[in-house]
Amino acid sequence: MQRFFTVIGGMGTAATNSYVNLLAKRTEAKKDQDYMDYLLVNHASVPDRTAYILNHSKPSFYPALREDILQQSKLNPEFMVMVCNTAHYFYQQLQALTTVPLLNMPHVAINEMCRRYPNAKKIGLIATAGTIADHIYEDEIKAAGREVILGDKRVQDMVMTLIYDNIKEHNRVDGDLFREILTIMRDQFGAEAIVLGCTELSLANDVAPQPDFELIDPQSIIVDKSLLLGRAFKQNLAGGRQLLADVMAGTK
């Protein structure tokens, strides 16, 4: 297979399936050959990202991702995408392992946020405790000149319940809890737009969409970028590489 991309997933599997399903649903296809060419690495046994970020005595998830990046690089994909926000804790180290471009989902998402919501100054962020602790999105939002709204402990506990207890443990989306979290962030904390900084939250938004809120859904955005780049590479190698450079730079 030539001119394909690699998806590093499995963190968790249900969220990765959501990415793959969106990729298929959003492809304008009339026959099998119109869909994207990609390899899916569903590495479900990668150690928990938040557990390690909060406590470095826990197993690190870096060795598993390092193995994935090195293995896939030998196959020479045009680019790679890692569909776990918290895993971007090691983004710089992982990109340094390979010459294959690895899309930076938080960076791409916040660039897209600025295009979609140019007037939103107070940006709510809901994510795992690990993503909050390592400032992956907070740094991107601040670099874009916006104020970060994090909510409080009650909100964070609700978010972790939705992600871990509902989705990861029981493979179930509590739409009412999801909506309550968003309502609190908007009405009590004044968030003008809200970043869904975890792919399980993106899954929640796919299963129980919330059209009443201004949301930045990184997984949805990275699906669109994957399609944009996948089509470009299938049509023209040079054009695909130029578009990839633009996406990596945040100009597309």
Contact 168, 92 (CB under 8 A): no
Q: In the prediction, which pLDDT does 59 show?
A: 97
Return the CATH number of 107-218, one of 1.10.260.40, 3.40.50.1860, 3.30.1340.10, 3.40.50.300.
3.40.50.1860
Q: In the prediction, which pLDDT does 237 show?
A: 87
Q: In the prediction, which pLDDT does 38 show?
A: 97
Which tens digits make up the pLDDT trace of 177-226?
Answer: 999 999 999 999 999 999 999 999 999 999 999 999 999 999 999 999 99
Q: In the prediction, which pLDDT does 250 show?
A: 85
Predicted confidence band of residue 100 (pLDDT cuts 50, 70, 90)? very high
Distance (Å, whole) CA 20 – CA 74: 23
Distance (Å, whole) CA 108 – CA 205: 19
Return mean pLDDT, the chain.
96
CATH 3.40.50.1860 fits 5-104+219-249, yes or no: yes
Q: How crowded is the C-beta side of 14, counted as CA atoms within 13 Å?
A: 19
Residues catalogued as catalytic: 84, 198
Q: Which residues of the chain form CATH 3.40.50.1860?
A: 5-104+219-249, 107-218
Measured CA distances, 71 to 28, 100, 166, 213, 219 (Å): 31, 12, 33, 40, 24
Average pLDDT over residues 12-22: 94
Indicate if the pLDDT at residue 115 is higher than 90.
Answer: yes
